[in-house]
């Protein structure tokens, strides 16, 4: 009995180093952030005073915070939808047999390997009002008579960031969905084709149900990552012009850099994480992740 008990305890003992690392580098910082959100604490001041919910109360009166929250949801939706649609289309194309498919896959997945700061610098140059390639193309096609100052208005500045982030995010969906497509047995498609099912019908009745869980999970992950993007927004517009492209993570960074107010910024971070947690739970339940769906 003692020998069996020792053997059954071995897996848990082997997990202890990993659990310890998780506790030190993830659990403790999270709990410390929650604790700080109830305090007035500046790194420069050094004094920490418990103030309860005062930081959260101040947030409700902060016009930039409210503006950042309002901008965050549209920013996520306007990024995720085109990334999902285009990523799915590319995955379907790359799943076909054609000459040079390996090279096409490598080229299609390349943007995912490029860092956010580099992506921002590339697209900031491409959309440069004086020498940018996109402005030059519009001029030569006769679409515009003068060069466009892409970063001077809220709409065009937001559009440039969406283009940059979509270009980088499409490969993530393409890779994930392509992997799911390759797990679908070819016999299912052959049987459906014999029964007279067309391309559209096969997609909605076979392909989509078979890759549903992959779409749900990748969409959730990409939503979380897109919401937390700072590098692309900071490098391209820094939330401007006039805070018209600012999102909550960007505002947290700006506020902390300017004031070093850990308590106030921690309160924003707690609200952000709480909102993401609630959204994730609702989304996974509504989408019936892991459950078979009949179309």
- Report pLDDT digits (tens) over 5-33: 566 677 777 878 888 887 777 888 888 88
Give CA separation, 106 vs 92, 110, 171, 179, 214, in Å: 15, 6, 10, 14, 21
Contact yes or no for 238/83 (Cβ under 8 A):
no
Question: 270 in a domain, yes or no?
Answer: yes
Question: 150 in a domain, yes or no?
Answer: yes
Residue 165, domain extent = 63-286
Question: 12 in a domain, yes or no?
Answer: no
Question: 82 in a domain, yes or no?
Answer: yes
pLDDT tens profile 100-127:
888 888 888 888 888 888 999 999 999 9
Backbone angles phi, psi at 261, to 5 degrees: -85, 95
Helix spans in 37-62 (H): 54-59
Number of domains in the chain: 1
Q: What is the pLDDT of residue 251?
A: 93
Q: What is the pLDDT of residue 76?
A: 92
Q: What is the pLDDT of residue 148?
A: 83
Say how far apart CA 246 and CA 240 lie, in whole Å.
7
Question: 34 in a domain, yes or no?
Answer: no
Give the relative orientation of helices 101-109 and 154-181 as an angle to the nearest 10 degrees.
140
Q: Angle at Cα 176 formed by Cα 227 and Cα 199, nearest 5°?
A: 115
Give the relative orientation of helices 63-94 and 248-259 as an angle to the nearest 10 degrees.
130
Q: What is the pLDDT of residue 276?
A: 92
Q: Is the pLDDT of residue 289 over 70?
A: yes
Say how far apart CA 225 and CA 228 lie, in whole Å.
5
Question: 187 in a domain, yes or no?
Answer: yes
Report which secondary-structure segment, H or E, holds 268.
Answer: helix 262-286
Q: In the chain, which ranges are E strands?
A: 39-41, 48-50
Here the CATH number for the domain that contains residue 95 is 1.10.3720.10
Say how far apart CA 135 and CA 145 lie, in whole Å.
10
Q: Is the pLDDT of residue 3 over 60?
A: no
Nearest to 211 by CA among 255, 174, 247: 174
DSSP 3-state assignment of 40?
Answer: strand
Looking at residue 39, the DSSP 8-state letter turns out to be: E
Question: 44 in a domain, yes or no?
Answer: no
Say how far apart CA 280 and CA 58 lie, in whole Å.
27
Question: 212 in a domain, yes or no?
Answer: yes
């Amino acid at each position: 009995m003692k020998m069996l008990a020792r053997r059954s305890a071995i897996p848990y003992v082997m997990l202890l180093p990993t659990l310890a690392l998780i506790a030190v580098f993830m659990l403790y910082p999270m709990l410390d952030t929650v604790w700080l959100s109830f305090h007035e604490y500046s790194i420069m001041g050094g004094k920490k005073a418990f103030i309860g919910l005062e930081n959260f109360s101040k947030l409700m009166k902060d016009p930039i915070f409210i503006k950042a929250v309002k901008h965050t949801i549209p920013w996520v939706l306007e990024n995720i939808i085109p990334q999902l649609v285009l990523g799915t289309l590319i995955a379907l194309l790359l799943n076909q047999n054609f000459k040079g498919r390996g090279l096409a896959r490598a080229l299609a997945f390349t943007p995912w390997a490029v860092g956010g700061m580099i992506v921002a610098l590339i697209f900031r140059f491409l959309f440069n009002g004086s020498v940018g390639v996109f402005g030059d193309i519009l001029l030569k096609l006769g679409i515009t008579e003068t060069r466009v100052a892409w970063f001077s208005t809220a709409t065009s500045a937001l559009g440039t960031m969406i283009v940059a982030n979509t270009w980088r995010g499409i490969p993530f969906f393409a890779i994930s969905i392509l992997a799911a497509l390759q797990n679908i047995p070819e016999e299912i498609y052959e049987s459906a084709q014999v029964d007279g099912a067309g391309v559209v019908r096969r997609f909605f009745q076979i392909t989509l149900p078979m890759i549903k869980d992959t779409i749900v999970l990748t969409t959730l992950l990409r939503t979380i990552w897109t919401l937390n993007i700072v590098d692309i927004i900071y490098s391209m517009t820094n939330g401007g012009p006039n805070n018209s492209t600012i999102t909550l993570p960007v505002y947290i960074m700006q506020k902390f850099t300017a004031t070093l107010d850990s308590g106030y910024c921690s309160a924003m971070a707690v609200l952000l994480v709480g909102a993401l947690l609630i959204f994730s739970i609702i989304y996974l339940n509504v989408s019936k992740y892991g459950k078979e769906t009949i179309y």
